[in-house]
Amino acid sequence: MSDPQAEPPWKTSVWSVGLGWRTFQVVAVALATAAGLFLVWRASGSLLLVFAGLLFAVFLDACTQGLGRVWGVSRGWRLAIVCVSLLVLGMVGISFGGYTVAQQADELFATVQRQLSALRREVRGTGGEPSARSLAPQGGAQPAGQARQPERTPEGSRAAVAQASAEASSEGGVGAVVRSFFPNAAALLQSATAALGGVAGVLGNLVVIIFLGLYVAVDPSIYRHGALLLLPPDRRERAGSVLDEAATTLRWWVIGQLVSMAIIALLTYLALLLVGMPAAFILALTTGLFAFIPYIGSFVAGAMIVLFGLAQGATMAFWGLGVYLLVQLVESYVLAPIVQRWSVNISPALIIGGLTVLGAVFGIWGFILAAPLLAVLRVLVLRFWVEDALSDAQGARAALRGS
**Predicted confidence (pLDDT) at residue 293 exceeds the cutoff of 70:** yes
Kindly state the DSSP code that residue 384 receives in the 8-state scheme. I
Q: How far apart are CA 74 and CA 379, in angstroms?
A: 30
> How far is CA 348 from each of CA 251, 296, 326, 353, rounded to the nearest angstrom?
20, 10, 20, 8
Nearest to 57 by CA among 211, 244, 201: 211
222-254 confidence digits (pLDDT tens) = 999 998 998 999 999 999 999 999 999 999 889
CB atoms within 10 A of CB 375: 22
304-317 confidence digits (pLDDT tens) = 899 888 888 889 98
User: pLDDT tier at 7 (50, 70, 90 boundaries)?
Assistant: low
Residue type present at position 40: V
Q: How far apart are CA 335 and CA 126, in angstroms?
A: 43
> How far is CA 200 from each of CA 95, 193, 208, 330, rounded to the nearest angstrom?
22, 10, 12, 39
User: pLDDT tier at 70 (50, 70, 90 boundaries)?
Assistant: confident
**Predicted confidence (pLDDT) at residue 53 exceeds the cutoff of 50:** yes
Most confident of 14-18, 53-57, 365-369: 53-57
pLDDT at position 243: 92
Please classify residue 399 by burial: count the beta carbons closer than 10 Å to its beta carbon, then call 0-12 exposed, 13-18 middle and 19+ buried: middle
pLDDT at position 12: 57
**Better-predicted residue by pLDDT, 125 or 29:** 29
Q: How far apart are CA 218 and CA 207, in angstroms?
A: 17
